[in-house]
Amino acid sequence: MNKKVMALAVAGAFVMPAAAFAQASNVQIFGTMYMEYSYGHQGTKVPAAVGGIAGGDLVNIDVLQAPGSEIGVKGEEALGGGNSVWFQCATTADIRGSGTGSGIQGLCGRNSAIGVKGSWGDAFVGNWDSPMKADIGAARIVSDTGIWGAGVMLFGNSSSFNDNGSAFAWSRRQNNSLSYTSPVFSGFQVKGMVSAPSTAIGNTTLVSGGKPRLISMSAKYTNGPLMLTAGYEQHTNFSPTAVASLAQTGGALTGGSGAGGIANTSFTGTDSAFQVGGTYQLGPVKAGLVYTNQTYDTGVQGPAGVASVGTDAKVSAFNLAGEWAIVGPHALRGGYTKANSTRGNFGQAGQFTAGQQVIIGNRVYNGGGGGTGGTIMQFQYVYNASKRTEFTAGYVRLQNDSNARYSLGGLTAPQAGANQDAVAMSIKTTF
């Protein structure tokens, strides 16, 4: 008996202080582990005349991707009066073991910040999803990235960006940002963000890139089965470096640096975007709708002997998606995304050699010549093994208009007008 009492006393000596420490510090480890396998048909190669390899088809490809995988630590401490200070540091967790490559950021490279919150709202500073990105994600239902991703058509891209990096992308996790989220009043909530240019940009000379500034705001309304959201974002002095360093290669201008690139001479202009969306839950069925519209107004000087690239470009897209909880753990998820043709004088005839286009990421700008839109159709069977773990399997198909070069996430951009499709399966667990 004495031995048992002594053992309990020793155990208590270790367990009780540890429990007390955990309660006082309120620090948690959290994360998401996601792995996606797909087998995709990539379509026809880009002809050599536009920077590709002439002839034949791109090989069918096996792709492993881990978009959205992360591991982090977060904590909160009460300050009294209903206020508290909090922090979060989230880091990409690529469980493929590659350690480097696209989408791999360093420590605290994903949503990470320190802030103070109370009944008045939440104010924080750090690297965080813009309000426009954060709220529209609730209406999208289908994935933003990966083989299922609709983000390439809806937003141009989705990742973390510093200052004016990747100016043509509108689904942004913005570095060096100050944010505020209001309390919820009768179902309404508003969010705001402004970026603070890094110390590397110390003046407004051409070399420094001016003084870029992001302003983003959103509003969301929730009432029972209905959720509505709207967002607006403005990029000032976001000289599109992907455009400003375009290399003139044969029949197209494609992103990249090197000889023949367009001089980085203009950092003026204000680009803007707005988007609206919503979801409605009717019994076991949830439907969502997203509409996006982006306008670029940035002057970029053309290479020697060539006219200006142009200052006006517009693009819009929408996504309709839904999920049906059939019975028990079984569900179906699907989506339809359509990107309309780009508009405006950006890339118009006469600015470059006849037949040339401007290609930024997957989007083609041809001065409003048309044929630059596309569609993505997704279908997934979902098995919810628990509240935190799901398995999926399904099919996705991308169709390009005659001049478009969109590609599925993880696949190579094909020749203009070529289509892509893939079968895929995934596993996702959160903790």
347 with 365: CB under 8 angstroms? yes
Single out the residue of 321, 359, 324, 357 nearest to residue 338, CA to CA: 321
**Per-residue confidence (pLDDT) for residue 239, from 0 to 100:** 58
229 with 217: CB under 8 angstroms? no
Q: Is the pLDDT of residue 263 over 50?
A: no
Q: For 304, how many CA atoms within 13 A lie in the half-sphere containing its CB?
A: 2
Domain membership flag for residue 34: no
Q: What is the pLDDT of residues 233-248, one digit of tens each?
A: 998 877 544 343 343 3
Band of the pLDDT at 25, cuts 50, 70, 90? low
Q: What is the pLDDT of residues 376-412, one digit of tens each?
A: 999 999 999 999 999 999 999 999 999 999 999 989 8
Kindly state the average pLDDT of the residues 360-385: 91
Mean pLDDT, the chain, integer: 80
Q: Is the pLDDT of residue 222 over 50?
A: yes
188: left (phi over 0), alpha (psi -120 to 50) or beta: beta
Which pair of structure tokens corresponds to residue 30?
Answer: 């959290």
Kindly state the average pLDDT of the residues 41-61: 65
Q: Is the pLDDT of residue 101 over 50?
A: no
Query: Domain of 48: which CATH number?
Result: 2.40.160.10
Domain membership flag for residue 195: yes
Q: Is the pLDDT of residue 251 over 50?
A: no
Domain membership flag for residue 29: no
53 with 59: CB under 8 angstroms? no
Q: Is the pLDDT of residue 208 over 50?
A: no
Domain membership flag for residue 399: yes
3-state secondary structure the chain: CHHHHHHHHHHHHHHHHHHHHHHHHCEEEEEEEEEEEEEEECCECCCHHHCCCCCCECCCEEEEECCCCEEEEEEEEEEECCEEEEEEEEEECCCCCCCCCCCCCCCCCCCEEEEEEECCEEEEEEEEECHHHHHHHHHHCCCCCCCCCCHHHHCCCEEEECCCCCCCCCEEEEEEEEEEECCCECCEEEEEEEECCCCCCCCCCCCCCCCCEEEEEEEEEEECCEEEEEEEEEEECCCCHHHHCCEEECCEEECCCCCCCCCCCCCCCEEEEEEEEEEEEECCEEEEEEEEEEEECCCCCCCCCCCCCCCCEEEEEEEEEEEEEEECCEEEEEEEEEECCCECCCCCCCCCCCCCCEEECCEEECCCCCCCCEEEEEEEEEEECCCCEEEEEEEEEEEECCCCCCCCCCCCCCCCCCCEEEEEEEEEEEC
Q: What percent of the chain has pLDDT over 90?
A: 55
Q: Is the pLDDT of residue 90 over 90?
A: yes
Kindly state the average pLDDT of the residues 77-106: 81
**Per-residue confidence (pLDDT) for residue 300, from 0 to 100:** 52
Q: Which residue type, as a one-letter code, is found at position 179?
A: S
Q: Is the pLDDT of residue 6 over 50?
A: no
Domain membership flag for residue 411: yes
**Per-residue confidence (pLDDT) for residue 211, from 0 to 100:** 75
Q: Which residue type, as a one-letter code, is found at position 372?
A: T
**Per-residue confidence (pLDDT) for residue 272, from 0 to 100:** 93
Which class for 22: exposed (0-12), middle (13-18), buried (19 or more C-beta within 10 A)?
A: exposed
Domain membership flag for residue 155: yes
Which of 91-100, 196-205, 279-288, 407-416 has maximum average pLDDT?
279-288
Q: What is the pLDDT of residues 291-346, one digit of tens each?
A: 999 998 755 544 444 444 556 789 999 999 999 999 999 999 999 999 999 998 77
Higher pLDDT, 111 or 362: 111
Q: Any idea of the CA torsion for 401, 406, 411, 412, to the nearest 10 degrees?
A: 90
Q: Which segment of 1-10, 89-98, 321-330, 385-394 scores lowest on mean pLDDT?
A: 1-10
pTM: 0.83
**Per-residue confidence (pLDDT) for residue 47, from 0 to 100:** 57
Domain membership flag for residue 413: yes
Q: Please state the separation of Cα 260 from the chain's center in Å.
A: 31
Band of the pLDDT at 267, cuts 50, 70, 90? low
Band of the pLDDT at 201, cuts 50, 70, 90? low
Domain membership flag for residue 77: no
Domains held by the chain: number:
1
Band of the pLDDT at 423, cuts 50, 70, 90? very high
Q: Is the pLDDT of residue 258 over 70?
A: no
Full residue range of the structural domain in which residue 130 is found: 41-66+119-430
Q: What are phi and psi of 332, to 5 degrees?
A: -120, 140
